[in-house]
Amino acid sequence: MSADTPYNDFELAERGLVRERLPRHVAIIMDGNGRWAKSRGLPRIEGHRHGVKSVRATVEECARLGLEQLTLYCFSSENWKRPPLELELLMSLLRTYVVKERDEIMRQELRFCTIGRNDGLPAGILGEVQKTIELSANNPGMSLCLALNYGSRMELVDAMRSIAQRVKSGALDPAEIDESVISAHLYTAGMGDPDLVIRTSGEMRVSNFLLWQISYAELWVTDKHWPDFRAPDLDEAFRNFAARDRRFGGLSAS
C-alpha cells in the first residue's frame, strides 16, 4: 500500500476513528518550535526546521484521512517583531518549503492556497507561492491553506474597509450587510469554517487566528511542541472531537 493511499473504514476503526465523525476542516496553531529548540540547546531556527517535518507528516495524514481542508498558522502579522536574523531565516525556510513541496502537493493532488496580506513578504516568496497556487488550482484533493502574514483583526479591518467602499459607491445598501456579506469579504471567502482548532505547546489562547471563522469550532490543546507532533497526536485530537456533543447553541440531540 502506498504511503498516501486513503485509509479505508477498517483501518480507521483500528485507530478508534469513524469517517463520519472526522472534522472536515482543521486549523492548527503550530506553536513551540523555539521552546523545542531551547530545551535541546539548539538555535531557534532548528526548531522551525524540525517543525517542517511535522507539517509534512500532518499534511499527508490529513489528506489520507479525507479532510476537506487543513489550515496552518505559519506566520502571523505579529511575528514581524522577532529579531531580524530569525525573520530572514524564517523567510528562507518558507521559500524552501514552497519550492520543495510543490511536487508533493501535485502528486497528492492537493489544492494550495494562502490567506493574509502580501505586504512585507519578499517578492521571491510571493512568486513561488503564486506558482504553486496556479499549478494546483484544479487538483481534486484536500485544500492546504497557509496563513502567511495573517492576523484576524487585520482581516476584519480589511473586510470592513472593503464593505465601506461598496456602501460609499452605492453598490451595497447598509441594510443588506449581514453575516454572509462579511464572510464574503474575508480572506477566507469561499472556504468552510474550521470544525476543529488544534494548538500545540500547551498555550490556552487563539492568538488572533480566524476569530470570525472559529466561532463554533472545537478547541483541542496538547502540551507537545510542534516539532514533536505526529499522526498519533492527530488521532487523539480527532477521537476527542468525535466524542463531543456539538450543539451550536441548540439542545443536545440526546
DSSP string, 217-242: -EEEE-SS-GGG--HHHHHHHHHHHH
Could you say which of 4, 8, 31, 240 is catalytic? 31
pLDDT by position in tens, the chain (length 254):
345 789 999 999 999 999 999 999 999 999 999 999 999 999 999 999 999 999 999 999 999 999 999 999 999 999 999 999 999 999 999 999 999 999 999 999 999 999 999 998 999 999 999 999 999 999 999 999 999 999 999 999 999 999 999 999 999 999 999 999 999 999 999 999 999 999 999 999 999 999 999 999 999 999 999 999 999 999 999 999 999 987 766 656 55
> How much is the pLDDT for 245?
85
Could you say which of 9, 33, 79, 103 is catalytic? 79
- Grid coordinates given for 169: 459607491
31 is catalytic: yes
Q: What is the C-alpha separation between 168 and 120, in angstroms, rounded?
A: 29
Q: One-letter amino acid identity for 176? A: E
Q: Pairing between strand 111-115 and 69-76? A: unpaired
pTM summary value:
0.94
> How much is the pLDDT for 249?
66
Q: What are the sequence ranges of the domains in the chain? A: 24-152+193-240
The CATH homologous superfamily for domain 24-152+193-240 is: Decaprenyl diphosphate synthase-like (3.40.1180.10)
